[in-house]
Amino acid sequence: MKRTIKLLALDLDNTLLTSKKMISSQSKYILSLCEQAGIRVVTASGRLFRSQIQFTEQLSQNIRNNWHVCNGGGGIYDGRQLIWREKSFAPELFLELLNKIRRTPLFYFIDTISEVYCERGFRFQPSQTAQKLLEQPYIHSISEVQKIKHPVRIIFYCKDGDEVAMAHQFQMPGAVTYDAGDRVVEITPKSLNKYNALKRICDHYRIDMDQVAAIGDDENDIGMIQKAGLGIAMQNGTSQLKEAADIIGQYDNDHEGVSHIIKQYLL
Protein backbone atom coordinates (compact mmCIF):
# COMPACT_ATOMS: atom_id res chain seq x y z
CA MET A 1 0.00 0.00 0.00
CA LYS A 2 1.28 3.47 -0.91
CA ARG A 3 1.69 5.76 2.08
CA THR A 4 -0.19 9.06 2.33
CA ILE A 5 1.98 11.78 0.80
CA LYS A 6 0.84 15.39 0.90
CA LEU A 7 3.98 17.13 -0.37
CA LEU A 8 6.63 16.20 -2.94
CA ALA A 9 10.00 17.97 -2.74
CA LEU A 10 12.11 17.73 -5.88
CA ASP A 11 15.72 18.58 -6.51
CA LEU A 12 16.32 20.08 -9.97
CA ASP A 13 19.75 19.38 -11.47
CA ASN A 14 20.31 15.68 -12.25
CA THR A 15 16.88 14.92 -10.78
CA LEU A 16 13.94 16.69 -12.42
CA LEU A 17 16.18 18.27 -15.07
CA THR A 18 17.75 16.19 -17.80
CA SER A 19 21.47 16.45 -18.53
CA LYS A 20 20.50 19.08 -21.13
CA LYS A 21 18.89 21.14 -18.34
CA MET A 22 15.32 20.59 -19.52
CA ILE A 23 12.07 19.48 -17.87
CA SER A 24 10.46 16.86 -20.09
CA SER A 25 6.82 17.14 -21.14
CA GLN A 26 6.20 13.80 -19.41
CA SER A 27 7.55 15.17 -16.12
CA LYS A 28 5.36 18.27 -16.39
CA TYR A 29 2.30 16.07 -16.98
CA ILE A 30 3.09 13.74 -14.07
CA LEU A 31 3.61 16.70 -11.72
CA SER A 32 0.23 18.10 -12.74
CA LEU A 33 -1.30 14.72 -11.82
CA CYS A 34 0.30 15.02 -8.39
CA GLU A 35 -1.42 18.36 -7.86
CA GLN A 36 -4.75 16.88 -9.00
CA ALA A 37 -4.23 14.06 -6.48
CA GLY A 38 -3.74 16.57 -3.66
CA ILE A 39 0.06 16.28 -3.49
CA ARG A 40 1.64 19.71 -3.27
CA VAL A 41 4.77 19.93 -5.45
CA VAL A 42 7.74 22.10 -4.45
CA THR A 43 11.26 22.30 -5.80
CA ALA A 44 14.28 22.22 -3.49
CA SER A 45 17.37 23.24 -5.41
CA GLY A 46 20.88 24.49 -4.86
CA ARG A 47 20.37 26.84 -7.79
CA LEU A 48 20.48 30.57 -7.35
CA PHE A 49 17.07 32.15 -6.77
CA ARG A 50 16.92 33.90 -10.14
CA SER A 51 18.17 30.84 -11.99
CA GLN A 52 15.64 28.51 -10.37
CA ILE A 53 12.68 30.70 -11.34
CA GLN A 54 13.21 29.95 -15.04
CA PHE A 55 12.38 26.31 -14.32
CA THR A 56 9.48 26.67 -11.88
CA GLU A 57 7.84 29.05 -14.38
CA GLN A 58 7.64 26.13 -16.81
CA LEU A 59 5.34 24.25 -14.44
CA SER A 60 1.64 24.71 -13.75
CA GLN A 61 0.41 27.90 -12.11
CA ASN A 62 -0.42 26.07 -8.89
CA ILE A 63 3.11 24.68 -8.67
CA ARG A 64 4.70 28.01 -9.60
CA ASN A 65 2.88 29.71 -6.75
CA ASN A 66 3.87 27.14 -4.13
CA TRP A 67 6.73 27.92 -1.77
CA HIS A 68 10.07 26.67 -3.16
CA VAL A 69 13.48 26.08 -1.56
CA CYS A 70 16.23 27.93 -3.42
CA ASN A 71 19.97 28.54 -2.94
CA GLY A 72 20.50 25.17 -1.27
CA GLY A 73 18.16 26.06 1.58
CA GLY A 74 19.30 29.66 1.82
CA GLY A 75 15.96 31.06 0.67
CA ILE A 76 12.29 30.41 0.02
CA TYR A 77 10.23 32.01 -2.74
CA ASP A 78 6.76 31.80 -4.22
CA GLY A 79 6.05 32.75 -7.82
CA ARG A 80 8.81 35.32 -8.38
CA GLN A 81 8.96 36.78 -4.86
CA LEU A 82 11.67 35.94 -2.32
CA ILE A 83 9.87 35.59 1.01
CA TRP A 84 12.53 34.27 3.42
CA ARG A 85 16.28 33.84 3.65
CA GLU A 86 18.61 32.09 6.07
CA LYS A 87 20.89 33.92 8.50
CA SER A 88 24.29 34.88 7.12
CA PHE A 89 27.79 33.81 8.15
CA ALA A 90 29.04 35.32 11.38
CA PRO A 91 31.19 38.32 10.28
CA GLU A 92 34.44 37.00 11.76
CA LEU A 93 33.88 33.55 10.21
CA PHE A 94 33.19 35.07 6.79
CA LEU A 95 36.38 37.15 6.90
CA GLU A 96 38.47 34.17 8.01
CA LEU A 97 37.09 32.05 5.16
CA LEU A 98 37.84 34.81 2.65
CA ASN A 99 41.42 35.08 3.89
CA LYS A 100 41.96 31.34 3.43
CA ILE A 101 40.28 31.21 0.01
CA ARG A 102 42.29 34.14 -1.33
CA ARG A 103 45.51 32.15 -0.77
CA THR A 104 44.34 29.62 -3.38
CA PRO A 105 43.72 29.86 -7.16
CA LEU A 106 40.01 29.04 -6.69
CA PHE A 107 37.53 31.38 -8.33
CA TYR A 108 34.55 31.91 -6.04
CA PHE A 109 31.13 33.53 -5.83
CA ILE A 110 29.45 34.98 -2.75
CA ASP A 111 25.72 34.42 -2.56
CA THR A 112 23.37 36.74 -0.65
CA ILE A 113 20.24 34.98 -2.06
CA SER A 114 18.93 38.09 -3.82
CA GLU A 115 22.28 38.92 -5.48
CA VAL A 116 25.58 37.17 -6.22
CA TYR A 117 29.07 38.69 -6.16
CA CYS A 118 32.56 37.85 -7.33
CA GLU A 119 35.91 39.52 -6.73
CA ARG A 120 36.92 42.08 -9.35
CA GLY A 121 40.40 41.65 -10.80
CA PHE A 122 40.69 37.98 -9.81
CA ARG A 123 44.00 36.81 -11.31
CA PHE A 124 43.09 33.19 -12.09
CA GLN A 125 40.91 31.92 -14.95
CA PRO A 126 37.43 30.72 -13.85
CA SER A 127 35.93 27.46 -15.09
CA GLN A 128 33.69 27.44 -18.15
CA THR A 129 30.63 27.08 -15.91
CA ALA A 130 31.70 30.09 -13.86
CA GLN A 131 32.33 32.10 -17.02
CA LYS A 132 28.78 31.43 -18.21
CA LEU A 133 27.42 32.48 -14.83
CA LEU A 134 29.36 35.74 -15.04
CA GLU A 135 27.20 36.68 -18.04
CA GLN A 136 24.05 36.81 -15.90
CA PRO A 137 22.70 40.25 -14.90
CA TYR A 138 22.44 39.34 -11.22
CA ILE A 139 26.19 38.67 -10.91
CA HIS A 140 28.15 41.69 -9.67
CA SER A 141 31.91 42.13 -9.74
CA ILE A 142 33.21 44.23 -6.84
CA SER A 143 36.59 45.02 -5.29
CA GLU A 144 35.78 44.87 -1.57
CA VAL A 145 34.01 41.53 -1.22
CA GLN A 146 34.65 41.58 2.53
CA LYS A 147 32.03 44.35 2.82
CA ILE A 148 29.21 42.30 1.27
CA LYS A 149 26.06 42.32 3.38
CA HIS A 150 24.29 39.08 4.27
CA PRO A 151 26.66 36.47 2.76
CA VAL A 152 25.08 33.03 3.08
CA ARG A 153 27.09 30.87 0.66
CA ILE A 154 30.52 30.76 -0.89
CA ILE A 155 30.36 28.78 -4.13
CA PHE A 156 33.12 27.23 -6.23
CA TYR A 157 32.44 26.07 -9.79
CA CYS A 158 35.54 23.92 -10.09
CA LYS A 159 37.47 23.03 -13.25
CA ASP A 160 38.48 19.53 -12.17
CA GLY A 161 38.80 17.08 -9.31
CA ASP A 162 41.91 18.80 -7.96
CA GLU A 163 40.00 22.05 -7.49
CA VAL A 164 37.11 20.14 -5.87
CA ALA A 165 39.56 18.64 -3.36
CA MET A 166 41.09 22.07 -2.74
CA ALA A 167 37.68 23.60 -2.07
CA HIS A 168 36.98 20.91 0.54
CA GLN A 169 39.97 21.97 2.64
CA PHE A 170 38.10 24.91 4.18
CA GLN A 171 36.76 23.07 7.22
CA MET A 172 35.95 25.51 10.00
CA PRO A 173 33.71 25.54 13.10
CA GLY A 174 30.36 27.11 12.26
CA ALA A 175 30.60 26.29 8.55
CA VAL A 176 29.85 23.25 6.39
CA THR A 177 31.53 22.35 3.09
CA TYR A 178 29.80 19.92 0.74
CA ASP A 179 29.40 18.82 -2.87
CA ALA A 180 26.42 20.20 -4.80
CA GLY A 181 27.07 18.13 -7.94
CA ASP A 182 28.71 18.87 -11.31
CA ARG A 183 32.00 19.88 -9.61
CA VAL A 184 30.27 22.56 -7.55
CA VAL A 185 31.40 22.92 -3.93
CA GLU A 186 29.66 25.17 -1.40
CA ILE A 187 30.52 26.55 2.01
CA THR A 188 27.55 27.60 4.14
CA PRO A 189 26.66 28.33 7.77
CA LYS A 190 25.74 25.11 9.57
CA SER A 191 22.09 26.17 9.76
CA LEU A 192 21.75 26.42 5.96
CA ASN A 193 20.48 23.27 4.25
CA LYS A 194 17.53 22.10 2.20
CA TYR A 195 15.91 20.22 5.08
CA ASN A 196 15.64 23.25 7.38
CA ALA A 197 14.04 25.32 4.62
CA LEU A 198 11.74 22.46 3.60
CA LYS A 199 10.62 22.05 7.23
CA ARG A 200 9.69 25.74 7.24
CA ILE A 201 7.57 25.17 4.12
CA CYS A 202 5.89 22.14 5.69
CA ASP A 203 5.05 24.16 8.79
CA HIS A 204 3.52 26.84 6.55
CA TYR A 205 1.29 24.27 4.83
CA ARG A 206 0.66 22.33 8.08
CA ILE A 207 2.15 19.15 6.67
CA ASP A 208 4.18 16.73 8.79
CA MET A 209 7.56 15.59 7.48
CA ASP A 210 6.36 11.98 7.48
CA GLN A 211 3.83 13.07 4.84
CA VAL A 212 6.64 14.31 2.57
CA ALA A 213 8.34 12.49 -0.29
CA ALA A 214 11.72 13.91 -1.32
CA ILE A 215 13.69 13.02 -4.44
CA GLY A 216 17.33 14.00 -5.02
CA ASP A 217 20.69 12.90 -6.34
CA ASP A 218 23.57 14.44 -4.38
CA GLU A 219 25.14 15.26 -1.03
CA ASN A 220 23.15 18.46 -0.48
CA ASP A 221 19.92 16.40 -0.64
CA ILE A 222 20.85 13.97 2.16
CA GLY A 223 19.20 15.93 5.00
CA MET A 224 15.79 16.18 3.36
CA ILE A 225 16.01 12.58 2.09
CA GLN A 226 16.71 11.30 5.61
CA LYS A 227 14.02 13.39 7.32
CA ALA A 228 11.23 12.91 4.74
CA GLY A 229 8.64 10.22 5.28
CA LEU A 230 9.76 8.76 1.97
CA GLY A 231 13.29 9.59 0.86
CA ILE A 232 14.11 8.59 -2.70
CA ALA A 233 17.45 8.61 -4.52
CA MET A 234 17.71 8.84 -8.28
CA GLN A 235 19.39 5.93 -10.06
CA ASN A 236 22.14 8.39 -11.01
CA GLY A 237 22.47 9.56 -7.40
CA THR A 238 25.68 9.39 -5.37
CA SER A 239 26.46 6.34 -3.26
CA GLN A 240 26.15 8.41 -0.07
CA LEU A 241 22.66 9.55 -0.99
CA LYS A 242 21.56 6.04 -1.94
CA GLU A 243 22.67 4.80 1.48
CA ALA A 244 20.49 7.48 3.13
CA ALA A 245 17.40 6.83 0.97
CA ASP A 246 14.42 4.58 1.63
CA ILE A 247 14.10 3.81 -2.08
CA ILE A 248 16.41 3.96 -5.09
CA GLY A 249 14.71 4.77 -8.38
CA GLN A 250 15.14 2.45 -11.36
CA TYR A 251 15.88 5.15 -13.93
CA ASP A 252 18.15 8.18 -14.23
CA ASN A 253 17.28 11.80 -15.02
CA ASP A 254 17.64 11.25 -18.78
CA HIS A 255 15.13 8.38 -18.78
CA GLU A 256 12.15 9.85 -16.91
CA GLY A 257 13.46 8.80 -13.51
CA VAL A 258 11.19 11.19 -11.58
CA SER A 259 8.08 10.22 -13.58
CA HIS A 260 8.65 6.51 -12.95
CA ILE A 261 9.17 7.10 -9.21
CA ILE A 262 5.97 9.15 -8.90
CA LYS A 263 3.87 6.63 -10.83
CA GLN A 264 5.22 3.69 -8.83
CA TYR A 265 5.22 5.14 -5.31
CA LEU A 266 2.96 8.19 -5.13
CA LEU A 267 0.03 7.96 -7.57
CA–CA gap between residue 63 and residue 192 (Å, rounded): 24
Q: Same structural domain for residues 175 and 261?
A: no
Kindly state whether residue 2 falls inside one of the protein's structural domains.
no
Domain boundary among 189, 207, 233: 189
Contact (Cβ atoms closer than 8 angstroms) between residue 248 and residue 233: yes
Sheet strand arrangement including 7-10: 40-43, 7-10, 212-216, 230-233, 247-248
CA–CA gap between residue 96 and residue 83 (Å, rounded): 29
Q: Same structural domain for residues 45 and 160?
A: no
Domain boundary among 189, 218, 237: 189
Range of the domain at 55: 7-85+192-265
Q: Same structural domain for residues 199 and 80?
A: yes
Domain boundary among 132, 155, 189: 189
Torsion-angle region of 149 (φ positive above 0: left; ψ -120 to 50: alpha; else: beta): beta
pLDDT of 125: 86
**Beta-bridge partner residues of 40:** 7
Contact (Cβ atoms closer than 8 angstroms) between residue 201 and residue 73: no
Non-local CB neighbours of 177 within 8 Å, separated by 6+ positions: 167, 168, 170, 171, 185, 186, 187
Q: Using 50 as the pLDDT threshold, list the residues of the chain that sit under it.
A: 1
Q: Same structural domain for residues 166 and 110?
A: yes
Kindly state whether residue 1 falls inside one of the protein's structural domains.
no
CA–CA gap between residue 107 and residue 124 (Å, rounded): 7
Kindly state whether residue 150 falls inside one of the protein's structural domains.
yes
pLDDT of 1: 47
Q: Same structural domain for residues 18 and 80?
A: yes
CATH code for the domain in which residue 113 is found? 3.30.1240.10
Q: Same structural domain for residues 175 and 253?
A: no
**What total number of domains does the chain contain?**
2
Q: What is the DSSP letter of 13?
A: I
Kindly state whether residue 43 falls inside one of the protein's structural domains.
yes
Kindly state whether residue 208 falls inside one of the protein's structural domains.
yes
Q: Same structural domain for residues 208 and 78?
A: yes
Helices 25-36 and 257-265 pack at an angle, to 10 degrees, of: 30
CATH code for the domain in which residue 73 is found? 3.40.50.1000
Kindly state whether residue 77 falls inside one of the protein's structural domains.
yes
